[in-house]
Amino acid sequence: MNPQLKTNVGRQRRSTSKFDLLARMKQIVTWLQNNPLLAVLFGIGIFIRLVAISSLPAGLNQDEASIGYDAYAILHYGVDRNGSFLPIHLIAWGSGQNALYAYLSMPFIYLFGLNTFSIRIVSAIAGVITLFLFYAIAKRFIPDNRRVMLIAAFIIVICPWHIMMSRWALESNLMPALVLLAVYFACKAIERPQWLLAFSISMALSLYAYGTAYFFAPLFVLSTYVVFYVKRLVSLRRILVNGATFTILALPILLFVIINRYSMNAITALVTIPKLTVPRVEQQSSIFGSDMMSTGLSHMKRFFEIIISQNDGLIWNALPEYGYLYPIALPLIILGLATTISALQRKADPIQLIILIWLAISVAMAFIISDANINRINVIFYPLILLTVAGVVWLSEKEKWATRFAIALFAAYFILFANQYVRKFPEQISPIFFESFGEAIRYASDVTDGTVYITNRVNMPYIYVLLNEQIDPREFNESVVYANPGGAFQQVQSFGRYRFEQPVIHDGEKAAYLFANGDPLPEDESRYEIKRFKHYSVVTEK
């Protein structure tokens, strides 16, 4: 090509790009001007999901520390702490941890270093993105109703489950976000069938986010394909191409399940498909049990207890007084379900049908989920929130006073929830998430070149040493000694210069001792230096 012509083409492209950007910015400004209440709601939603994520909740849960350190190790050394090269699933404690969150965290760990912010930011960003995805899907779920825009935005913005899960890095919470993204693409595929491929890819990715997707994703994908085919929205050829794409992307995780179900050797090639010490999917599911029916019914009972009470007893999942969507939500969910079924009887809308299929599979899965808690049934909550929106919208069409009352109650509950989350919750979660443990580890490691004895009153204390000292995973692998090698949750006795036990002072040894506050400390403070942190203390000889 003529150099002058190349230059002109380049200038034209840059000019077009600038024009497109300016046009897009103008559209955004126009939307903000036309929808000021929505803009305020989304602004509040973004703020409460992003602000101070490093310090609220304070400390780090052991699963957050685990996913963060393994992401760091793979990023810088190519292997996780168990020595697996580019694993498609992490071995973690022994029984496994989903890998997708770790890989998504790597750019942020590279940019900001390994810290609480870089570990949690993926979850916070997912929370922000799903605000808008939920809003877009709600408009399609309840079409031809302007009220739904504000109601949907309001309810998802103030939803306690959505707020709390967005603010800490539990890797399994990526799964419902990916399913929501997939449903958004399904909405687009109704008008433009090529978007069905994005649906299939998103659902395949969900398999790498959480183990319950092994059951949910194939059923949901197949059901959605059936809806699209029966409604004549896409051709059979396109369905087959999408099915093949989903299967190919799912193949590594299928091999992972087979390897661990039948105790086969790990595959180590371009990536690692690991063998776990104990497959967690069998721990979390009754499908492999001998008395499946009675066990499954027991699981269903536990599931409905959580749905009705809105509480699983775990303070990091739900504040007991407010649940996953406040006490007012349950009757609205039932109302929304009734109105949606009634609407489907009049006209079989594909998106309403897909949302109800999502709900039905989520409920059916409870039959096989052991020890259900809010995390393990997390895939059900977006359909429940959509049904809540449907319930409020129906009220707005029938009894405006009832709608105003419901919105006022939601707003009051949100204010009370936010107050408790900011004031009382930090002190409740602080010892559970081991606040100040990382500071104590860094201090103890710096104050001596000798042995560091660390309390075992922390869940998996070794992972906090790996994270805070950013230790080479190869060094850890070479020196680690497990108390229960091969266990589902392997307890580390020692590695390198670190010992994990109830510390006992060894007179004359050049060492540091990290105690939990409340443990007896040396009485003769003239001989010892004691550095106190919020929940821990470090003792060294003077």
E strand or H helix at 540: strand 536-541
What is the arithmetic mean of pLDDT over 262-279? 94
| pLDDT value at residue 290 | 62
Q: Can you tell me the distance from the alpha carbon of 209 to that of 138, in angstroms, rounded to the nearest whole number?
A: 24
| Residue 325 pLDDT class (50, 70, 90 cuts) | very high
What distances in angstroms separate CA 337 from CA 272, 281, 344, 383, one per listed residue?
A: 44, 31, 11, 10
| Residue 3 pLDDT class (50, 70, 90 cuts) | low
| pLDDT of residue 65 exceeding 50 | yes
| Residue 288 pLDDT class (50, 70, 90 cuts) | low
Q: Can you tell me the distance from the alpha carbon of 524 to that of 504, in angstroms, rounded to the nearest whole number?
A: 15
Q: Within 270-369, where are the H helices?
A: 280-283, 292-309, 329-346, 350-365
The pTM score is 0.94
| pLDDT value at residue 21 | 75
Cα atoms in the Cβ-side hemisphere of radius 13 Å centred on 499:
13
How confident is the model over 512-530, as pLDDT tens digits?
Answer: 999 999 899 988 777 899 9
- Do 266 and 259 meet the contact criterion of CB atoms below 8 Å apart? yes
What is the arithmetic mean of pLDDT over 242-265? 97
| Residue 16 pLDDT class (50, 70, 90 cuts) | low
How confident is the model over 346-376, as pLDDT tens digits?
Answer: 999 999 999 999 999 999 999 999 899 999 9
Q: Helix axis angle, 116-141 relative to 174-191, nearest 10°? A: 40
Token pair 């019914």 is found at: 297
| pLDDT of residue 289 exceeding 60 | no
| pLDDT of residue 287 exceeding 60 | no
What is the arithmetic mean of pLDDT over 110-121? 98
What is the arithmetic mean of pLDDT over 26-42? 86
Task: Encode 108-168 in three state secondary structure.
Answer: HHHHHCCCHHHHHHHHHHHHHHHHHHHHHHHHHHCCCCCHHHHHHHHHHHHCHHHHHHHCC
| pLDDT of residue 78 exceeding 80 | yes
What is the arithmetic mean of pLDDT over 49-62? 98
How confident is the model over 423-481, as pLDDT tens digits?
Answer: 999 999 999 999 999 999 999 999 999 999 999 999 999 999 999 999 999 999 999 99
How confident is the model over 175-210, as pLDDT tens digits?
Answer: 999 999 999 999 999 999 999 999 999 999 999 999
What is the arithmetic mean of pLDDT over 19-29? 77
